[in-house]
Amino acid sequence: MSMQNDKQFGFEANFDGLVGPTHHYGGHSFGNVASTGNAKLVANPREAALQGLAKMKALADMGYRQGVLPPQERPATWVMRELGYTGSDHELIAAVGNTNLGYLSAMCSASSMWTANAATVSPSGDTADGRVHFSVANLQNKFHRAIEHRQTERTLKAIFSNEQYFSVHGALPMMAAFGDEGAANHTRFCKDYAGQGVEFFVYGRQHWGGTVEPQRFPARHTLEASQAVARRHGLRASHTVYAQQNPAVIDAGVFHNDVIAVGNQNVLFCHDQAFLNAQQVYAELKQKVGANFELIEVPSSAVSVEDAVKSYLFNSQLLAKTNGKQRLLVPEECANTPAVWAYLQHLIHDNRAIDELLVFDLKQSMQNGGGPACLRLRVALSEGEAAAVNPAVWMNDQLYADLTSWVKRHYRDRLHENDLLDPHLLDEVRGALDELTHILHLGSIYPFQRHGSDE
In contact, 325 and 296? CB cutoff 8 Å: no
Stretch that binds ligand SUG, among 4-12, 151-159, 161-169, 256-264 (CB under 6 A): 256-264
Q: What is the torsion angle, in degrees rounded to the nearest 10, for the CA atoms of residue 328, residue 13, residue 429 and residue 445?
A: -160
Examine residue 180 and tell whether it contacts ligand SUG (CB under 6 A).
no
Q: How far apart are CA 105 and CA 83, in angstroms?
A: 15
Q: Cβ of residue 451: shortest distance to ligand SUG, in angstroms? A: 28
Amino acid at 216: R
Contacts with ligand SUG, 128-147, as mask; x by CB under 6 A: -----------------x--
Name which of 198 and 366 has its Cβ closer to ligand SUG.
366
Name which of 25 and 166 has its Cβ closer to ligand SUG.
25
Examine residue 16 and tell whether it contacts ligand SUG (CB under 6 A).
no
DSSP state of 138: -
Examine residue 259 and tell whether it contacts ligand SUG (CB under 6 A).
yes
Examine residue 117 and tell whether it contacts ligand SUG (CB under 6 A).
yes
Examine residue 329 and tell whether it contacts ligand SUG (CB under 6 A).
no
Examine residue 72 and tell whether it contacts ligand SUG (CB under 6 A).
no
Q: Cβ of residue 182: shortest distance to ligand SUG, in angstroms? A: 8
Q: How far apart are CA 413 and CA 420, in angstroms?
A: 14
Examine residue 271 and tell whether it contacts ligand SUG (CB under 6 A).
no
Q: How many helices and strands in the chain, by DSSP H and E?
A: 18, 15
Q: How far apart are CA 327 and CA 145, in angstroms?
A: 31
Q: How far apart are CA 450 and CA 434, in angstroms?
A: 12
Strand order in the sheet with 197-203: 186-190, 197-203, 240-244
Examine residue 35 and tell whether it contacts ligand SUG (CB under 6 A).
yes
Cis ω on the peptide bond leading into residue 331 (within 30° of 0)?
Answer: no
Examine residue 317 and tell whether it contacts ligand SUG (CB under 6 A).
no
What values do phi and psi take at 338, rounded to 5?
-50, -45
Examine residue 261 and tell whether it contacts ligand SUG (CB under 6 A).
no
Q: Binder to ligand SUG among 21, 27, 52, 247 (CB under 6 A)? A: 27
| Stretch (H or E) spanning 382 | strand 376-382
For residue 243, CA distances in Å to 99, 158, 183, 317 come to 42, 33, 14, 21
Examine residue 201 and tell whether it contacts ligand SUG (CB under 6 A).
no
How many binding residues for ligand SUG (CB under 6 A)?
22
Stretch that binds ligand SUG, among 110-118, 155-163, 298-306, 431-439 (CB under 6 A): 110-118
Q: Which residues contact 72 (CB under 8 A, 6 or more apart)?
A: 20, 110, 112, 148, 151, 152, 155, 446
Q: Binder to ligand SUG among 15, 18, 21, 32 (CB under 6 A)? A: 32
Examine residue 154 and tell whether it contacts ligand SUG (CB under 6 A).
no
Q: Cβ of residue 419: shortest distance to ligand SUG, in angstroms? A: 14
Examine residue 218 and tell whether it contacts ligand SUG (CB under 6 A).
no
Contacts with ligand SUG, 361-400, as mask; x by CB under 6 A: -------xxx---x--------------------------
Q: Binder to ligand SUG among 184, 225, 230, 252 (CB under 6 A)? A: 184
Q: Catalogue the active-site residues.
A: 181, 256, 374
Q: What are the residues binding ligand SUG (CB under 6 A)?
A: 25-29, 32, 35, 109, 111, 114, 116-117, 145, 184, 255-256, 258-259, 368-370, 374
